[in-house]
Structure formats: C-alpha cells, structure tokens
Structure 1
Amino acid sequence: MQSEYDMSVISRIRRFVNSTTEVVPGVFQITHRGANVLLIAEDTLTLIDTCLKDGAPQVLEFIRYIGRSPEEISLIVLTHNHIDHMGGLAEIKKHTNAKVAAHKDDIGIREHPPAAGGRYREPLAQIKSKLQSVFSVLPEDVDIILEGGETLNCLGGLDVIHTPGHTPGSISLYSQKHKMLFSGDLIRKRRKKLLLPPKMVCSDIDENLESIKKISHYDIEILCFGHGLPLHQDVKSRILDLINRDEV
C-alpha cells in the first residue's frame, strides 16, 4: 500500500506532466489556466511571463521540482500587460531579486478600447470596460525598459522584437541558437491552424498583422505561443499562410 507521501509525489508528478512541456533542453513551458510561462534554465533562471496570480505557486513549485530555487531567477520578461501574462509577477517577485523587463509602451497604461463600428460599437465598448477592470497595469518601476532591438543575455542571445497590435507594447523574443520565437499573444493557434488574436482584445488588429509580417522574416523552426502547445512543423509556411489569408 502506498504511503500518503508517495501519493503526494505521484500527484505532483502527474500534474507537472499534464501542465509542462520541455520545448528544447532547458526551456520549459508551464501552463496555468491556458496561459503559458516559459522557464529558461541555464546558470541562472529566466521567466517569460508569469501567468495569473493564483498560478504563481505552480511556477515556483515546478522550479523546485526540477532541482532549482526561485532565488535563482535573475530576469522576468513580460510580453505584454494583460493579467493572464503578468498577474503572478508580484507573488513571484517575493521569492527572488529578479529584474523585470517590459516594453515602454505597456508600462503604466491599460489597453485601448476596440475599434468597432455600427451596431457593435456600444456592446463591444461595454464588454471592454468590464475586461479592463480585470487587466492590471504594469508597474512604473520596471527595471529594464525595452524598446525593441535589444538582446537579452540568455539562450546565447535572445532578441527583443517590438510586435505591437495586441497591445501597444507587445514584444516577441527570438532565439537564433534554437531558431525559436516566443510570440506572446501575437498569434494564436487552433489545432494546427494559425490565427490572429480576437479583434476585441487587440489595441490595433491591423498593426498586429503588420507585426506578424515583421516576424515572418526570421528563420523560425519552433513557435511558442501565449496559449497552446508549441508548433514544431512547417512554421514559416503557416505564418505566411496566416498573412495571406488575412490580407485578402
């Protein structure tokens, strides 16, 4: 008969098996309520996004599960200022002295109302108003203010690409070493099909499409999303297909 301790360990392992993916060696995707956190485990630890506040304990527990300590987190990079991507920031910061990096256009602001016309304008404005009460504002005391064009010191160099549209300060992060892009919510995936994010949660959907065109020039073999499993096959052709479909 298994002890209570054994069952607890088995339960934890099962939970992590169901909610984590090792994208490439040393890069883990942790999923909480559908939103992804990327953990880069090198000499120090780097987090990309922090999920919701109630997901922070899961992130911290996984770090301990792989034999590391939250105190080893040296950098937290936020792809944009929506609560499902940065809601756990304050809780995770309690356990580390990590510096926080975010784009200047998402610091201290909320996202803009959706562009809508005709009979949909008022209903969408009401929905947006309710959603804004859930979204948090990035703190003014972000340690590293990004503009795009920087290279972060992890994965042999992680390039910061300003990809506005979902929010004014949305960023994507490109690893040339692994030919891997962390796209935040720039692109969403439904099964194997790539799609634009919903218009009502974007500051500018046309700008979002222009940002997708920008990242299409990179040599990408692995595409990681803010929601959903990474894409490892036919990445470039699927990005181009998305652009061609939405330009028509």
Structure 2
Amino acid sequence: MAPAPVVALVPGIWRIPLVRDFVNGFILRDDDGQVTLVDMGLKPSGPKVIAALAAIGSAPSEVTRLVLTHAHPDHAGGAAHVAAATGRGFDIHASDAAYAREGSSPPRDRSFLLGRIFDLLSRGQDFTPVPVERELADGDVLPVVGGLRVVHTPGHSPGHISLLHEPTRLLITGDAIFNVRRLRWPVRAFCTDFAMTKRTAAVLGELDYDLAAFTHGPELRDHPREAIRGFLARERLA
C-alpha cells in the first residue's frame, strides 16, 4: 500500500513524507486558505510537495509563503520546482540566503575527514538556485497559522533554523536533531560546525511544546520535550 501523501500533526498543519519518514516537508494552512510550505526535499520531491497540496484540498495558487530551514540539497532540492509551480520565492535565514541563491551547500566541517572530502569533491552547485524573498532572523514571528517563530539553531549550516508554532505547541526541529530509529545528531560531516550544532540544539530543550516534528524521521507525540531534554542531557555527559 502506498504511503499517505500527508500526515496530520495538529489542526492546520501536516507533515509531508517525501522519502517515507526519512525526509519530510510540512504544510501549514490558515483558516482563510492561505498555505505555507516548509522544506521541499530532494530534487525529485518537488512534484510530491505539489501533490500533497492536492491531498489536503489546496492548490499551488493558494501558497503565499515558502520556507527553507537551511540550504542543503535534501531540503532545497525540490525548491525550484515548487517556486515555479507557486510563483513564490523563499524565506530563509540571512546566513543561508546566499547559498540558496547560488544553489550551493555551505562548507562542511573540515575537522572530519569526510567533511574535507565532501568539500574537495564539491563542484559548487548542489541544487537548482532558488529565489529568496525574505531573509529571516532569530525571533522573527511569521504570520502563519497564528504565529510561527523562527529559532536560529546554527551549526548544521550557518543559517539553520528550527520553527516553533506556539498556538498549537508544535516544534519543527529541522536538522538540529534527527529522529531516525531514535533521537540522534545529524551526520557530523554534513554540518558546517558540528560542535556548534550540539551547543545550539540546547535551546530546543528550553522551549515549550507538546509535539516535536523532524525533517528526518517521524514526529514524537508522547512527551517529546522530555525526550529531547533527556537526549541533550545524555549527550552532554557522553
């Protein structure tokens, strides 16, 4: 049986499983029908994002905002397709905006051999460049479904963000933390600064939320804040 095109999280917000549960995007829809899309997955996933809109009864013409948590090809790969289908540019943190415009990933962590190899092999463009409409900053509150707060969690990339929807107490971690079989860090060599990734993720344990959603892995519905705080505590002691 084919996987469902969307997974309902809270009223007005859905997860889009773009590569099963391993790579996810998100849909947020206001009461007036305006739609915000967050993260577009790999290059082949652009049409899946548009199909997910149809699954909730929305159309590309109703999309009024596009958001990228960061400029990596498994999040921005499908972005050019979605931008063309909706006629919209992207909101992305100011520190990742130039990379999105260029279609290139930020530098990898060169303290790891694999990071140095990835940087050496990089040919400059990892995904089709995308238009940037707004450059975001930490603490910005987007007028989306009652307010979507930008939480700057750099390290995975310089402008990596998590998102907190305070009205429904939903956290989207982005790639600050994965939930692939268990809570874990993103791949170290894919980060710009892995040590910073670990430091800035601490803020996710300080926020208030009742549901945690991940761009890699399924959501946590059962005491997610306690689970994330426990993970962060264990990692500090490791």
What TM bracket, shorter-length normalisation? Answer: 0.7 to 0.9
Pairwise CA distance, 1:142: 1.1
Identity, % of aligned positions: 28
CA contact (8 A) 1:148 1:160 kept: yes
CA contact (8 A) 2:40 2:79 kept: yes
CA 237–131 in structure 1, closer or farther in 2 if over 3 Å, else same: farther
| Alignment match, 1:23 | 9
Aligned pair partner of 2:39 in 49, 65, 68: 49
CA contact (8 A) 2:180 2:216 kept: no
Gaps of 5+ in 2: 100-104
CA contact (8 A) 1:166 1:205 kept: yes
| Alignment match, 2:187 | 198
Q: Matches of 1:51 and 1:235 in 2, distance apart?
A: 24
Gaps of 5+ in 1: 1-13
CA contact (8 A) 1:165 1:204 kept: yes
| Alignment match, 1:59 | 49
Give the match's secondary structure for 1:185.
coil
Superposed CA RMSD:
2.0
* 1:36-58 deviation per Cα after TM superposition (whole angstroms, max 9, x unaligned): 11011222010001112211112
CA 45–112 in structure 1, closer or farther in 2 if over 3 Å, else same: same
Give the match's secondary structure for 2:186.
coil
* 1:105-155 deviation per Cα after TM superposition (whole angstroms, max 9, x unaligned): 112233223242xxx63x54224434666733864x411111211100112
CA 173–127 in structure 1, closer or farther in 2 if over 3 Å, else same: same
CA 150–137 in structure 1, closer or farther in 2 if over 3 Å, else same: farther
- Bigger radius of gyration: 1
| Runs of 4+ displaced beyond 4 Å | 131-134
Q: Matches of 2:84 and 2:146 in 1, distance apart?
A: 28
| Alignment match, 1:135 | 126
Please say which of residues 103-112 and 169-178 is displaced more in the overlay.
Answer: 103-112
Is 1:126 matched with 2:117? yes
* 1:1-248 equivalent positions in 2, closer than 5 A: 15=2, 17=4, 19-33=5-19, 34-42=22-30, 43-109=33-99, 110-116=105-111, 121=113, 124-130=115-121, 135-136=126-127, 139=130, 141-191=131-181, 193-248=182-237
Pairwise CA distance, 1:246: 1.7
CA contact (8 A) 1:49 1:77 kept: yes
CA contact (8 A) 1:164 1:208 kept: yes
CA contact (8 A) 2:36 2:65 kept: yes
* 1:186-220 deviation per Cα after TM superposition (whole angstroms, max 9, x unaligned): 101133x3111121111111211222111211112
TM-score for the superposition, normalised by structure 2:
0.88
Q: Matches of 2:39 and 2:46 in 1, distance apart?
A: 11
Q: Matches of 1:63 and 1:235 in 2, distance apart?
A: 27
Give the match's secondary structure for 2:200.
helix
CA contact (8 A) 1:186 1:196 kept: yes
Count of residues paired in the alignment: 228
Q: Matches of 1:134 and 1:229 in 2, distance apart?
A: 29
TM-score for the superposition, normalised by structure 1:
0.84
Q: Matches of 2:173 and 2:24 in 1, distance apart?
A: 11
CA contact (8 A) 1:74 1:99 kept: no
